[in-house]
Amino acid sequence: MRQERPIPWPGFVLALVGTLLVVIGGVTPWLGGALLLLWLGSLWLASDRPPPPPPRQVSGTFSREKLGEMIEHSGTPLMMTERNRVIIANEAARDVFGAHILGQDVRVALRQPEAIALIDRDEGGTTSVRGLARRRDIWRISRHPMDGEIAMIELINRTAEADISRAHTDFVANASHELRTPLASIIGYVETLADGGADKATTTRFYDTILREARRLQHLVEDLMSLSRVEAEKHDQPAALIAFSALVERAARDAAGPDRAERLTLECAPNIAIKGEQHQLEQLVRNLVDNALKYGAVDEIVQVILDRTPNHEARLTVTDRGEGIAAEHLPHLTRRFYRTDPSRSRASGGTGLGLAIVKHIVERHRGRLDIASKVGQGTTVTVRIPLTEEAPPLEHTGPLKHRQTKTS
Amino acid sequence: MGAEHTVKAFDEDITRLRGLIAEMGGLAEAAVTNAMDALVKGDDALADQVIKGDKRIDALESEVDKLAVRIIALRAPMADDLREVIAALKIAGVVERIGDYSKAIAKAARKIDNRKKFEPLTLLPAMGELAAEMVHDVLTAYAARDAGLAREVIVADTKVDNFYDSIFRNFVSHMVENPATISTSAQLLFVARNIERIGDHATNVAEMVHFAATGTYPADDDGEPLHQTGD
């Protein structure tokens, strides 16, 4: 404000001319001088007052739209509430909760008791919440009240950090038990061979057994590694765009191999794209197809179908016509090392981890896994993964609501 | 969603109603999770917390009741607004029951001793997790008015039922082999039963969510309902 006082030149000129006219008009110069002094002085004083402030829309009242735009592309989920109604939610927040939260009571998005305690507290603060978007995830929520009824809510996902330590203990617990069995038999056979005295036929049989057990050990280590890798990454959703139709075809044929190729029938709808990680999706298809071929009846076909559900998902179904699985086993199938028939599973080289890996891969891709089976008829495994919104395949251009309902 | 109503007060009331249901649901969900944790870990303090926390759920239920009655009396809602208020009223009742079952599980958790040696206990967490996930999903479906997700929940109930059958058989054979543990096994059987009921109630809520969103009850098969009275 301490700037150079502006000199009101036009006023001065007007005052001079006015006084001159008055003096010419016959007023005494003294009186004219006094008039001029008064005139100039008042002009001078008036000019000292600061100019009226310009209309201030720019600084104080940041419009809501502006603010919304500013936070829109932040990677951190951010929400703004007015009297505990959500007025702004950025893209990341809409990803977590869904677009419906806009305009709703903030409790609709944050229903956990800890979060509600935070919302009810006037001074804001930070809290940790479990099960915000998915069960068992962990988020840190900070709430900063701004002026009056408006508050900013920031969400940070802490699930991955909390999970790492647990994953390590699980890995050790699982691995030690399952690795010990094949190792024990390898050691036993090698000791017997080292003692000598076995005839040629027995020796060959022992070598075969050792080789088989070592292979099993190798598979087990590979599966354990991929299981723990998938688990560790479970919380970061993969972002790469995958041409799922082509991938399913390739991986399914790959799993069948030339020997079992004629037992495989494939029906893949074209142009299905999802977000995912290629290796894991391949592994998913391979595991499912391999299971179906392995446990299905030897001379029966295995059917692999990929299509779209009305709920905007890619659906992969793998059906075998084997002996089926009894209902009481179904809930446990995705547990590690769970076997309905341990001896048979081992004989066919299973590690007991295939479906556990599949389950984790599906979870990482935000999908769902369902297993249905009838004893005597066979088993159907269904995997559904959300279709991607980006670069939609040609048939999918309309908005979600007006999607065509296909009967499948 | 949220087409403007001419009466702003109605909008505010219904937003508040949804908020209350969500808060109740959050409490019930936490109650299920905590009750199962208390059972598995033998954490009596956590069990007490669940037992005490049920009062808050009951209080919220009566608050929902009052608000819903007030909305119907004062605003005379029509069509899908009315459907939503009625659904909220019913959902509040069912969520309250879920809270009660969690309380029952927490009470049972307090009665179980020497859980270290008890092998069947390892089956329950997975079942509890399934039921808790149903509760979580159905609340999300309610918040989003997502009929698709509501149908998922209904389908998931079969899994919980299968789990219950499996656990039932397992426990019975365990009781036959270890008569000394029969009273503990019986307690756990009740817990399994309660979890199964929680799953059923989540299914009920899912049906109401479906009704509130579409105006129809979900079809038996997993096909789309014949017509959708869109939102």
Answer yes or no: is pLDDT of A257 > 70.
yes
Question: What is the Cα–Cα distance from B187 to B182, expressed in whole angstroms?
Answer: 9
Q: For an interface test with A, give the residue of B32, B40, B95, B136 to mutate (most A CBs within 10 A).
A: B136
Taking only the tens place, the pLDDT of each residue in B160-215 is: 998 898 888 888 888 888 888 888 888 889 999 999 999 999 999 999 888 888 87
* DSSP summary character for residue A23: H
> What is the structure's pLDDT at B194?
94
Give A275-317 pLDDT, tens digit per residue: 999 989 999 999 999 889 888 888 888 999 999 988 888 999 9
> Chain B interface residues facing chain A, Cβ-Cβ under 8 Å?
1-2, 15-16, 18-20, 22-23, 25-27, 29-30, 33, 53, 126-127, 129-130, 132-133, 136, 139-140, 143-146, 148, 152, 155, 159, 162-163, 165-166, 169-170, 223-224, 230
pLDDT at A174: 66
User: pLDDT of A20-73, one tens digit each?
Assistant: 888 888 878 888 888 888 888 888 777 766 555 555 444 556 677 787 888 888
To the nearest whole percent, how much of chain B has pLDDT over 90? 38
Say which DSSP state A51 is in.
Answer: P
Q: What is the pLDDT of residue B102?
A: 94
Flag whether residue A95 sits within 8 Å of chain B, measured between CB atoms: no
Per-residue model confidence (pLDDT) at position A222? 87
If pLDDT is split at 50, 70 and 90, which confidence band does B230 have?
Answer: very low
Per DSSP, the residues of A202-218 read HHHHHHHHHHHHHHHHH
The confidence score (pLDDT) of residue A196 equals 80
State whether ipTM is beyond 0.85: no
Mean pLDDT of A80-104: 85
pTM for the model stands at 0.68
**Given this model, what pLDDT does residue B223 score?**
44
Question: Per residue in B44-83, pLDDT tens?
Answer: 899 999 999 999 999 999 999 999 999 988 887 777 788 8
What count of other Cβ atoms lies within 10 Å of the Cβ of residue B70? 13
What is the structure's pLDDT at B193? 93
Chain B residues within an 8 Å CB radius of A138: none
Q: What is the pLDDT of residue A342?
A: 67
Rounded Cα distance between B92 and B21, Å, is: 6
Quickly name the fold that domain A161-236 has: Helix Hairpins (1.10.287)
pLDDT-above-90 percentage for chain A: 12
User: Which of A111, A128, A363 is the best mutation test for B, with the most CBs of B within 10 A?
Assistant: A111
Burial classification of residue A401, based on how many CB atoms lie within 10 Å of its CB (0-12 exposed, 13-18 middle, 19 or more buried): exposed
Across the range A96-111, mean pLDDT stands at 84
> In this structure, what DSSP letter does residue A53 have?
P
Distance from CA of residue A58 to its chain's centroid?
37
In 3D space, the residue among B188, B191, B15, B203 whose CA is nearest the CA of residue A107 turns out to be: B15
The topology (CATH level 3) of A238-408 is Heat Shock Protein 90 (3.30.565)
Per domain, the residue ranges of chain B are: 8-214
What is the 3-class SS of B150-212, one letter each residue? HHHHHHHHHHHHHHHHHHHHHHHHHHHHCHHHHHHHHHHHHHHHHHHHHHHHHHHHHHHHHHH
Q: Ranked by mean pLDDT, which of A36-40, A160-164, A374-378, B100-104 comes out on top?
A: B100-104
Q: What pLDDT does B199 receive? A: 94
**CATH homologous superfamily, domain A64-157:** PAS domain (3.30.450.20)
Q: Which of B4, B15, B49 to mutate to test the interface with A (most CBs of A within 10 A)?
A: B15
Region of A267 on the Ramachandran plot (φ > 0 left; ψ -120 to 50 alpha; else beta): beta
Q: Rounded to whole angstroms, how far apart are CA atoms B202 and B135?
A: 5
Secondary-structure class of domain B8-214 per CATH: mainly alpha
